[in-house]
Amino acid sequence: MRILALILCLLPSISFAQTKDYRTYDKAVKYNNEGNIEKATKYANKALEKNAEWSKPNLLLASIYADLGDIEESARYMLYVYDEKTPSDVMGIEQIAKLYYSNGYYENALYYFKAAQQLNADVLARKTALFIKNCIFSMDAIRQPVAFNPENLGENINTEMEEYLPALSIEGNTLVFTKRIAEKGYIPQEDFYISTRNEEGIWQEALAYPGTINTARNEGAFSFSADKEIVVYTACNRDDGQGRCDLYLMLNNTAYNAGKIINTKYWESQGCFSPDGKYMYFVSNRPGGYGGKDIWRSEITQKGFLPAVNLGDTINTQYNEMSPFVHPDNLTFYFASDGHTGFGDYDLFVSRRKNTAKEWGLPNNMGYPINTHNTENSLIVAANGKTAYYASDVSGFGKEDIFQFELPENLQAEPLAALEMDIITQKAGEEVILKNVSFASNSYALEQISFAELDKLIAYLKKNPNLQIEIQGHTDDVGNEMDNQILSQQRAKTVFEYLKMKVSNRLSYKGFGESVLLESNSTEKGRKVNRRTSFVIFQ
């Protein structure tokens, strides 16, 4: 009887402890939906006064504190609901791990990911193993930060609007980027803006890109060819589109859909050209890849694009890759991924190759604090190999601004020599003049000054072993025409023989005598210009 009486005495308190005050909780939800966080927090806590273990108010408070950035407080409320030793709570424990992980609390995240694995590894998300690997990597990388000092490009580029996805011309004096325009009464949309750098190195006020490329719809992800003759960009939901988003080409201020070989009924975006103009790289979620979004490339021929080829599992993962950028050295490849080992969301990676006949090598994470638990992507690097540009919302004039920073030495690309710049900016089939190659008067013996220039050409040929070139010799009109023809042939042969000893490329040579003029031979200046050694790329 005494036991029964005790139970009867306890019943009111037990019932009271388990009472759920839905009226108060509903008020908390209402205020939270209205954005009144102070009252939402007040009423959620009030609902817990009658039942501290009630999951709904605890999880509401966890959500509120997560949105406020108070991750520890958010996790505390989640742990009132989920027990790391209770198998049925495995998914909740994983959510706590993800909360810590997505906010850069890697040590705590690692603890709860492992706890969730011990409860029931079979039901966890397929990415959990990667998350654990990323936690271990990130904790170590944060202890070994890389040099990183970003500088805002200033008010001539950045505004209170969003500026992102920068593209830089190869000589580094033209910047094009995407700006999100939000005018009162109109749906926000994206347009391209352009700025040029003056002789003092200052970016001028950005203006809307000229011509017809901007429309009332969205345009994004602009990229030049090395000679700036062709532009590739992304446009979505167009009448002539193959899918949701397509790649478009602009030539002579006229835009064209890139066609069915490039675009599919799926999603194609973020195109960029290789500096030699042989390939276009882009991102697609089409079937046949390794994950969600993969990086593909299509070879460009005189007849157009060839079917796209996936870059393979060295670059692409079972998750997502994006933002491809081939540096002008054609040996360094930057991209973003959420599938390679990193800090959590999209990170920036660099991949290299020995020469253009090789495949891209294993990518390296660019390190902390270039990469963080936030999203990092859309990095481009200037021809000097060390100045990088990217967009960030960490600080600046508006939501997203464009910044520049100097890459740590181990992440830099090779700087372009003047000769290489001349090569990749020439139109197809045009001769490239070897400016510092000279011969003694009426002789085909190379002067000593010539070898430095020829060695630069040798370096370029070694980087591009499949390249085929013809060495060409030219003279002015002084002397006998037949003698000039023979002399030009001998000079071209001398250069050919020096190169042949150093490289395995297919080479040929030809003398043109005085038949191909760049300027009139009527002046000494003109004759000096016409006396030249040059080459033409055939492949």
Q: Which domains does the chain possess?
A: 23-142 (1.25.40.10), 151-411 (2.120.10.30), 418-537 (3.30.1330.60)
Rounded percentage of the chain residues whose pLDDT exceeds 70: 96
pLDDT digits (tens, 9 = 90+) for 322-343: 999 999 999 999 999 999 999 9
What is the average per-residue pLDDT within 46-63? Answer: 94
- Residue 169 pLDDT > 90, yes or no? yes
- Residue 539 pLDDT > 70, yes or no? no
H helix intervals, 344-403: none
CA dihedral over 47, 49, 51, 54, signed as positive or negative: positive
pTM above 0.85, yes or no: yes
pLDDT digits (tens, 9 = 90+) for 444-496: 999 999 999 999 999 999 999 999 999 999 999 999 999 999 999 999 999 99
- Residue 170 pLDDT > 80, yes or no? yes
pLDDT digits (tens, 9 = 90+) for 388-417: 999 988 778 878 899 999 999 999 999 999
Give the chain's end-to-end CA distance (angstroms, integer). 101
- Residue 13 pLDDT > 60, yes or no? no
Q: Tell me the three state secondary structure of residue 507.
A: strand
By the 8 A CB rule, do 137 and 109 touch? Answer: no
What is the average per-residue pLDDT within 121-127? Answer: 88
Query: Average pLDDT of the chain?
Result: 92
d(CA 391, CA 29): 36
At 95, list the tokens: 């959510």
Per-residue confidence (pLDDT) for residue 435, from 0 to 100:
92
Q: What is the b/e burial string over 156-180, where b = at least 16 CB atoms within 10 angstroms of the residue's CB?
A: ebbbebbbbbbbbbbeeeebbbbbb
Per-residue confidence (pLDDT) for residue 338, from 0 to 100:
95
Nearest CA-CA partner of 537 in 422, 421, 428: 428
pLDDT digits (tens, 9 = 90+) for 421-450: 999 998 878 999 999 999 988 899 999 999
Per-residue confidence (pLDDT) for residue 184, from 0 to 100:
67
HEC sequence for 204-263? CCCEECCCCCCCCCCEEEEEECCCCCEEEEEEECCCCCCCCEEEEEEECCEEEECCCCCC
Per-residue confidence (pLDDT) for residue 394, from 0 to 100:
79
Segment (H or E) for 350 = strand 347-352
Strands 468-474 and 506-511: parallel
Q: Which amino acid, residue 220?
A: G
CA atoms within 13 A on the CB side of 229: 9
Rounded percentage of the chain residues whose pLDDT exceeds 90: 84
d(CA 55, CA 20): 10
Q: In Å, what is the CA distance from 56 to each residue of 14, 30, 53, 436?
A: 19, 14, 9, 77
d(CA 465, CA 456): 14
Per-residue confidence (pLDDT) for residue 2, from 0 to 100:
39
